[in-house]
Amino acid sequence: MKLKFKEHSSQYNRRAILSIAIGTGVGLIVYLIFLYFHIDIYGWNLGLIFAPLAAGYVETIAAERLIGEDIGAISAFILFIDTTFYSFILKNPTLGFNIITAGSIIVILQAAFPTLINYILLVLIGGFLSGFAKSIKSFERKLKTRVENQQTFAWETKDERMNDGQIHYFDEDESNAKLNNLGFYFLTSTDMKDRAHNTLGIFQSEVIIEKDARLIAMDAEIAEQEKLNMIKTGKDECLIKLADKIQDYGGNGIIDLTMNYTLIGMSGEIQITAMGMGIYIR
Protein backbone atom coordinates (compact mmCIF):
# COMPACT_ATOMS: atom_id res chain seq x y z
CA MET A 1 0.00 0.00 0.00
CA LYS A 2 1.34 3.40 -0.97
CA LEU A 3 0.64 6.54 0.92
CA LYS A 4 -0.64 9.39 -1.20
CA PHE A 5 0.03 12.92 -0.13
CA LYS A 6 -2.29 15.68 -1.18
CA GLU A 7 -0.51 18.27 -3.24
CA HIS A 8 -1.36 21.94 -2.89
CA SER A 9 -0.66 24.88 -5.08
CA SER A 10 1.74 27.63 -4.10
CA GLN A 11 -1.22 29.98 -3.67
CA TYR A 12 -2.81 27.53 -1.21
CA ASN A 13 0.43 27.31 0.77
CA ARG A 14 0.81 31.11 0.87
CA ARG A 15 -2.73 31.53 2.14
CA ALA A 16 -2.22 28.79 4.72
CA ILE A 17 0.93 30.50 5.96
CA LEU A 18 -0.93 33.81 6.03
CA SER A 19 -3.68 32.22 8.16
CA ILE A 20 -1.08 30.89 10.58
CA ALA A 21 0.62 34.30 10.73
CA ILE A 22 -2.68 36.07 11.41
CA GLY A 23 -3.54 33.63 14.19
CA THR A 24 -0.06 33.90 15.69
CA GLY A 25 -0.18 37.70 15.56
CA VAL A 26 -3.55 37.85 17.30
CA GLY A 27 -2.34 35.40 19.92
CA LEU A 28 0.74 37.53 20.61
CA ILE A 29 -1.42 40.63 20.96
CA VAL A 30 -3.70 38.82 23.43
CA TYR A 31 -0.70 37.63 25.43
CA LEU A 32 0.80 41.14 25.53
CA ILE A 33 -2.52 42.54 26.76
CA PHE A 34 -2.62 39.98 29.58
CA LEU A 35 1.00 40.82 30.48
CA TYR A 36 0.46 44.58 30.38
CA PHE A 37 -2.65 44.55 32.59
CA HIS A 38 -1.28 41.77 34.86
CA ILE A 39 -4.31 39.54 34.33
CA ASP A 40 -3.30 36.56 36.44
CA ILE A 41 -4.32 34.28 39.27
CA TYR A 42 -1.84 33.78 42.13
CA GLY A 43 0.95 35.06 39.89
CA TRP A 44 0.12 32.83 36.90
CA ASN A 45 -0.68 34.90 33.81
CA LEU A 46 -3.89 33.73 32.16
CA GLY A 47 -2.46 34.67 28.78
CA LEU A 48 -0.68 31.30 28.83
CA ILE A 49 -4.09 29.72 28.21
CA PHE A 50 -6.07 32.37 26.34
CA ALA A 51 -3.33 33.44 23.91
CA PRO A 52 -3.01 29.99 22.22
CA LEU A 53 -6.78 29.64 22.30
CA ALA A 54 -7.27 33.00 20.56
CA ALA A 55 -4.54 32.19 18.04
CA GLY A 56 -6.10 28.86 17.12
CA TYR A 57 -9.58 30.36 16.88
CA VAL A 58 -8.55 33.25 14.63
CA GLU A 59 -6.39 30.99 12.47
CA THR A 60 -9.30 28.60 11.96
CA ILE A 61 -11.61 31.41 10.83
CA ALA A 62 -8.94 32.89 8.54
CA ALA A 63 -8.12 29.51 7.01
CA GLU A 64 -11.76 28.69 6.31
CA ARG A 65 -12.22 32.02 4.53
CA LEU A 66 -8.94 31.98 2.59
CA ILE A 67 -8.56 28.31 1.65
CA GLY A 68 -11.91 26.83 2.65
CA GLU A 69 -10.69 24.36 5.30
CA ASP A 70 -9.17 24.07 8.73
CA ILE A 71 -5.42 23.47 8.89
CA GLY A 72 -5.18 22.36 12.53
CA ALA A 73 -4.58 25.46 14.68
CA ILE A 74 -0.83 25.45 14.09
CA SER A 75 -0.56 28.98 15.50
CA ALA A 76 -1.74 27.62 18.86
CA PHE A 77 1.36 25.41 18.99
CA ILE A 78 3.55 28.35 18.02
CA LEU A 79 1.99 30.56 20.72
CA PHE A 80 2.36 27.84 23.32
CA ILE A 81 6.08 27.50 22.53
CA ASP A 82 6.58 31.28 22.55
CA THR A 83 4.69 31.95 25.79
CA THR A 84 6.26 28.98 27.56
CA PHE A 85 9.76 30.05 26.50
CA TYR A 86 9.13 33.62 27.67
CA SER A 87 7.37 32.82 30.93
CA PHE A 88 9.22 29.73 32.12
CA ILE A 89 12.72 30.14 30.68
CA LEU A 90 13.42 33.86 30.26
CA LYS A 91 11.36 35.24 33.16
CA ASN A 92 11.31 32.32 35.61
CA PRO A 93 13.95 29.72 34.67
CA THR A 94 13.40 27.78 37.92
CA LEU A 95 9.75 26.95 37.13
CA GLY A 96 8.91 23.61 35.63
CA PHE A 97 5.85 21.75 34.42
CA ASN A 98 2.70 22.74 36.29
CA ILE A 99 -1.07 22.90 36.02
CA ILE A 100 -0.91 26.04 33.83
CA THR A 101 1.26 24.42 31.18
CA ALA A 102 -0.87 21.29 31.35
CA GLY A 103 -3.99 23.39 30.83
CA SER A 104 -2.41 25.15 27.86
CA ILE A 105 -1.53 21.82 26.24
CA ILE A 106 -5.12 20.63 26.66
CA VAL A 107 -6.46 23.84 25.09
CA ILE A 108 -4.09 23.48 22.13
CA LEU A 109 -4.98 19.85 21.54
CA GLN A 110 -8.65 20.74 21.82
CA ALA A 111 -8.23 23.34 19.10
CA ALA A 112 -6.20 21.06 16.82
CA PHE A 113 -8.05 17.76 17.33
CA PRO A 114 -11.50 18.63 18.73
CA THR A 115 -13.20 15.31 17.98
CA LEU A 116 -10.42 13.17 19.46
CA ILE A 117 -10.01 15.32 22.58
CA ASN A 118 -13.75 15.49 23.16
CA TYR A 119 -13.93 11.71 22.92
CA ILE A 120 -11.07 11.28 25.39
CA LEU A 121 -12.60 13.78 27.81
CA LEU A 122 -15.98 12.06 27.48
CA VAL A 123 -14.46 8.68 28.30
CA LEU A 124 -12.37 10.00 31.19
CA ILE A 125 -15.10 12.15 32.74
CA GLY A 126 -17.74 9.47 32.17
CA GLY A 127 -15.51 6.84 33.77
CA PHE A 128 -14.74 9.10 36.72
CA LEU A 129 -18.42 9.92 37.32
CA SER A 130 -19.38 6.26 37.00
CA GLY A 131 -16.72 5.21 39.52
CA PHE A 132 -17.68 8.06 41.85
CA ALA A 133 -21.36 7.04 41.71
CA LYS A 134 -20.44 3.42 42.51
CA SER A 135 -18.33 4.58 45.46
CA ILE A 136 -21.22 6.69 46.78
CA LYS A 137 -23.65 3.76 46.49
CA SER A 138 -21.18 1.44 48.22
CA PHE A 139 -20.66 3.95 51.02
CA GLU A 140 -24.42 4.41 51.35
CA ARG A 141 -24.96 0.65 51.69
CA LYS A 142 -22.24 0.36 54.33
CA LEU A 143 -23.58 3.35 56.25
CA LYS A 144 -27.14 1.98 56.13
CA THR A 145 -25.91 -1.39 57.37
CA ARG A 146 -24.01 0.19 60.25
CA VAL A 147 -26.98 2.31 61.30
CA GLU A 148 -29.31 -0.69 61.20
CA ASN A 149 -26.83 -2.70 63.27
CA GLN A 150 -26.50 0.09 65.81
CA GLN A 151 -30.23 -0.02 66.48
CA THR A 152 -30.01 -3.61 67.74
CA PHE A 153 -26.39 -3.92 68.85
CA ALA A 154 -25.51 -3.45 72.52
CA TRP A 155 -22.08 -1.88 72.86
CA GLU A 156 -19.75 -3.75 75.20
CA THR A 157 -18.38 -1.22 77.65
CA LYS A 158 -17.44 -0.91 81.28
CA ASP A 159 -19.66 2.16 81.50
CA GLU A 160 -23.03 0.39 81.27
CA ARG A 161 -24.94 3.50 82.29
CA MET A 162 -24.84 4.86 78.71
CA ASN A 163 -27.23 2.12 77.60
CA ASP A 164 -29.87 2.29 80.33
CA GLY A 165 -31.91 5.07 78.64
CA GLN A 166 -31.57 7.51 81.55
CA ILE A 167 -30.01 10.96 81.75
CA HIS A 168 -26.93 11.07 83.99
CA TYR A 169 -25.53 14.33 85.26
CA PHE A 170 -21.95 15.21 86.04
CA ASP A 171 -21.10 15.07 89.75
CA GLU A 172 -19.79 18.58 90.40
CA ASP A 173 -19.06 17.88 94.09
CA GLU A 174 -16.91 14.89 93.24
CA SER A 175 -15.08 16.93 90.60
CA ASN A 176 -14.36 19.79 93.02
CA ALA A 177 -13.17 17.37 95.69
CA LYS A 178 -10.80 15.70 93.24
CA LEU A 179 -9.21 19.02 92.26
CA ASN A 180 -9.07 20.31 95.85
CA ASN A 181 -7.23 17.19 96.98
CA LEU A 182 -4.36 18.04 94.66
CA GLY A 183 -3.12 20.74 97.05
CA PHE A 184 -2.86 23.07 94.08
CA TYR A 185 -4.09 26.62 93.49
CA PHE A 186 -6.08 27.30 90.28
CA LEU A 187 -6.52 31.06 89.73
CA THR A 188 -8.03 32.70 86.66
CA SER A 189 -6.84 36.18 87.65
CA THR A 190 -3.32 37.57 87.96
CA ASP A 191 -3.95 39.42 91.24
CA MET A 192 -2.06 37.63 94.05
CA LYS A 193 -2.94 40.30 96.65
CA ASP A 194 0.67 40.74 97.75
CA ARG A 195 1.13 37.01 98.31
CA ALA A 196 4.82 36.16 97.95
CA HIS A 197 5.37 33.89 94.99
CA ASN A 198 7.82 32.92 92.28
CA THR A 199 6.84 32.59 88.61
CA LEU A 200 7.93 29.48 86.78
CA GLY A 201 6.83 30.27 83.23
CA ILE A 202 3.94 29.46 80.90
CA PHE A 203 2.52 25.95 81.09
CA GLN A 204 -0.01 24.23 78.87
CA SER A 205 -1.75 20.87 78.70
CA GLU A 206 -4.14 19.31 76.19
CA VAL A 207 -6.73 16.55 76.26
CA ILE A 208 -8.54 15.26 73.18
CA ILE A 209 -12.04 13.83 73.55
CA GLU A 210 -12.65 11.35 70.77
CA LYS A 211 -16.05 11.04 69.14
CA ASP A 212 -18.06 8.24 70.74
CA ALA A 213 -20.04 6.28 68.13
CA ARG A 214 -22.40 4.99 70.83
CA LEU A 215 -24.02 8.42 71.03
CA ILE A 216 -25.52 8.00 67.56
CA ALA A 217 -27.99 5.34 68.72
CA MET A 218 -29.08 7.31 71.80
CA ASP A 219 -31.93 9.69 72.32
CA ALA A 220 -30.86 13.24 71.38
CA GLU A 221 -31.28 14.65 74.91
CA ILE A 222 -29.40 11.77 76.53
CA ALA A 223 -26.61 11.95 73.93
CA GLU A 224 -26.22 15.69 74.50
CA GLN A 225 -25.93 15.26 78.26
CA GLU A 226 -23.45 12.39 77.92
CA LYS A 227 -21.34 14.52 75.58
CA LEU A 228 -21.39 17.35 78.12
CA ASN A 229 -20.32 14.88 80.82
CA MET A 230 -17.39 13.77 78.64
CA ILE A 231 -16.30 17.39 78.14
CA LYS A 232 -16.42 18.11 81.88
CA THR A 233 -14.48 14.94 82.64
CA GLY A 234 -11.93 15.92 79.99
CA LYS A 235 -11.65 19.36 81.58
CA ASP A 236 -10.77 17.80 84.94
CA GLU A 237 -8.18 15.53 83.31
CA CYS A 238 -6.65 18.53 81.53
CA LEU A 239 -6.37 20.51 84.78
CA ILE A 240 -4.84 17.54 86.59
CA LYS A 241 -2.25 17.13 83.82
CA LEU A 242 -1.44 20.82 84.02
CA ALA A 243 -1.04 20.68 87.79
CA ASP A 244 1.26 17.64 87.49
CA LYS A 245 3.48 19.50 85.01
CA ILE A 246 3.82 22.54 87.26
CA GLN A 247 4.40 20.40 90.36
CA ASP A 248 7.22 18.62 88.53
CA TYR A 249 8.90 22.05 88.32
CA GLY A 250 8.37 22.70 92.03
CA GLY A 251 5.25 24.85 91.67
CA ASN A 252 2.00 24.69 93.58
CA GLY A 253 -0.32 26.98 91.64
CA ILE A 254 -1.25 28.68 88.40
CA ILE A 255 -2.50 32.19 87.64
CA ASP A 256 -4.18 33.67 84.54
CA LEU A 257 -5.68 30.23 83.86
CA THR A 258 -7.60 29.94 80.57
CA MET A 259 -9.54 27.00 79.14
CA ASN A 260 -10.17 26.58 75.42
CA TYR A 261 -12.47 24.06 73.74
CA THR A 262 -11.85 23.44 70.03
CA LEU A 263 -13.69 21.20 67.58
CA ILE A 264 -11.10 19.36 65.49
CA GLY A 265 -11.99 19.20 61.79
CA MET A 266 -15.08 17.24 60.72
CA SER A 267 -14.38 14.17 62.84
CA GLY A 268 -16.25 15.49 65.90
CA GLU A 269 -13.26 15.27 68.24
CA ILE A 270 -12.86 18.05 70.81
CA GLN A 271 -9.54 19.38 72.04
CA ILE A 272 -9.46 20.90 75.53
CA THR A 273 -6.51 23.18 76.29
CA ALA A 274 -5.54 24.65 79.67
CA MET A 275 -2.85 27.31 79.85
CA GLY A 276 -1.49 29.79 82.37
CA MET A 277 1.47 31.03 84.39
CA GLY A 278 2.90 28.47 86.77
CA ILE A 279 3.86 29.82 90.21
CA TYR A 280 5.20 28.74 93.56
CA ILE A 281 3.39 30.39 96.47
CA ARG A 282 5.70 30.75 99.47
* Structural domain count, the chain: 2
Task: Please report whether residue 143 resides in a domain.
Answer: no
Query: How do residues 142-167 score in pLDDT, each as one tens digit?
Result: 666 554 444 333 334 445 455 555 66
Amino acid 203: pLDDT = 92
Domain assignment present for residue 155? The answer is: no
H-helix or E-strand containing 131?
Answer: helix 114-152
- 58 near 81, Cβ under 8 Å? no
Does residue 36 lie within any of the structural domains? yes
Q: Is residue 158 part of a domain?
A: no
C-alpha R_g of the chain:
35
Q: For 63-102, write each residue's pLDDT tens digit.
A: 888 888 877 677 777 777 776 666 655 555 444 455 555 6
122 in a structural domain:
no
Please report the pLDDT score of residue 193 as a whole number.
Answer: 77
H or E element, residue 241: helix 220-248
pLDDT digits (tens, 9 = 90+) for 236-266: 999 999 999 999 999 989 989 999 988 876 6
Q: Would residue 56 count as lying in a domain?
A: yes
DSSP 164: S
Question: Is 243 among the domain residues?
Answer: yes
Q: End of a domain among 77, 112, 147?
A: 112
> In this predicted structure, what is the pLDDT of residue 150?
41
* Angstrom distance (rounded) from CA 233 to CA 242: 14
Query: What does the pLDDT look like over 95-119, one tens digit per residue?
Result: 445 555 565 556 555 555 555 555 5
- 233 pLDDT higher than 60: yes
